[in-house]
Structure 1
Amino acid sequence: MAEETNGANGAADQAAAPQVRMQVLAQFVRDMSFENMVARNGITSSDVQPDIQVGVSLDARKRTGDHQYDVISKFKVTSKNKANGEALFILEVEYGGIFHVEGVPEEQLHPFLLIECPRLLFPFVRRIISDVTRDGGFPPLNIDTVDFLALYRQEAARRAQTPATPAH
C-alpha cells in the first residue's frame, strides 16, 4: 500500500515541477585569432616538444527577447616548445550561442547558463580548434573535454575569496 502512495506522490511532484525547455537558436564564432610563430619567426628547431595550455572562460547575458540568452565560451590555446619555451602558436576563439531557456528557477539560471549551454556548444568549438590548428600547419589539436561544472565551481570559489570592493 505504501508503494502506491509514493508512486502517486511522485507523479504529483513531477506534474508540479516546471518543465525545463532549452533550444539553441543560433551558434557563431564571435572572434577568432590564430598566430603561427613557427612560420612568422622562422623557428627551425627539429627538437620540438609542444607544451599546450588551454584556458577557458565563460560569459552569459540576457537578451532583449523573452527567455533568450547569449552564452560565450572563450578558449585561449597556447603552444610552446618545452625544450626552450619558444611560442609555437596561439589560438583564441570566442564561440557563442543564443539560447531560449524556460522553466529553470531563477536561482538555478546562472549555473544552468554557464554549465549546460557551454556543454552543448563544446563539440563545435572543439572541431573549430582542431581544424584551425591543422589548417595552420600543425597536427590537429583535439582538446580534452571541459568539465564545465568544475569550472563553474572554481569560479564561484574564486569570487567568494575575493573581497568585494566598496563603492565610492
Structure 2
Amino acid sequence: MTEANGATPTAAPQVKMSVLAQYVRDMSFENMVAQKGLTSGEVQPDIQVAVSLDARKRAVEHQYEVINKFRITSKNKATGDTLFLMEVDYGGVFHVEGVPEEQLHPFLLIECPRMLFPFVRRIISDVTRDGGFPPLNIDTVDYLALYRQELARRSQVQPAATQPETVQ
C-alpha cells in the first residue's frame, strides 16, 4: 500500500513483551497479636497499604526487572495497637521490545506491575490467612494514578533542588 505521495506508510513498531520470571525478592510478616498476646475485646482493623515500584535495565538486551513493593499495616481502630505488619517485594523479569524510548519508563512502571499484581495479591491473601487473620484481598492498584502521583511529586521536588544556592 502506498500513500498519495508514493511513500509507503511507516508501521508502528510491534511491541513484544513476555514475562521471563516472577519471584518474591523479600517478604516479612509480623503477627503482633501472637507475639504480644493483645486481647482487647472487639477488634476493628484499619488496614493501610503503601505501594512503591522500582524498575531497572538488566545486562541482557531488552530485559528489565520490575519490583512491586507492598507495605501493609493493620491496626485496631479502637486502641491503635498494631495487629500485623507485612512487607513484600515481588519482582518480575520482562523481555520488552518495540516500545519507543520515551514510552519505556511509563510502560515499565504501569504495564509490567499490572501483570504481576494478581500474583502478589494472592501471596498477600495466603500469608495473612496463614498468619491467623482473615485473608486480605487488597484492592486493585491503579498503577497509572500511582505513576502520575510520582511524576507530580518529582516535579515539585526537582525545581527546588535545581535552583542555585545564594551565598551571603
**TM-score higher than 0.5 here?**
yes
Q: Does 1:82 align with 2:77?
A: yes
1:46 positional shift: 1.8
2:60 equivalent to 1:65:
yes
Kindly indicate whether residue 141 of structure 2 is the aligned counterpart of residue 164 of structure 1: no
TM-superposition CA deviations, 1:130-163 (whole Å, max 9, x none) = 0000000000000000000000000000000003
Query: Match for residue 88 of structure 2?
Result: 93
Structure 2 alignment gaps of length 5 or more:
none
Unpaired stretches in structure 1, ≥5 consecutive residues: none
Quick one: distance in 2 between partners of 1:165 and 1:25? 39
2:133 pairs, out of 130, 138, 144, with 138
Instruction: Tell me which amino acid in the other structure corresponds to 2:133.
Output: F
Q: Percentage identity across aligned positions?
A: 78
Q: Once the 2 structures are TM-superposed, how far is the Cα of residue 164 of structure 1 from its aligned partner? A: 2.5
Pair 1:108 & 2:106 matched: no
SS of 1:130's equivalent?
A: helix
Structure (1 or 2) with the greater helix fraction: 1
1:154 match: 149
Offset of residue 165 of structure 1: 5.7
Structure 2 counterpart of 1:68, one-letter code? Q
Equivalent residue of 2:132, what SS? coil
User: How has the CA–CA distance of structure 1 residues 37 and 20 changed in structure 2, closer, same or farther, with 3 Å as cutoff?
Assistant: same
Task: State the TM-score, normalizing by the size of structure 1.
Answer: 0.90
Structure 2 counterpart of 1:117, from 99, 112, 123:
112
- Aligned residues: CA RMSD: 2.0
TM-score of the aligned structures, taking structure 2 as reference length:
0.90
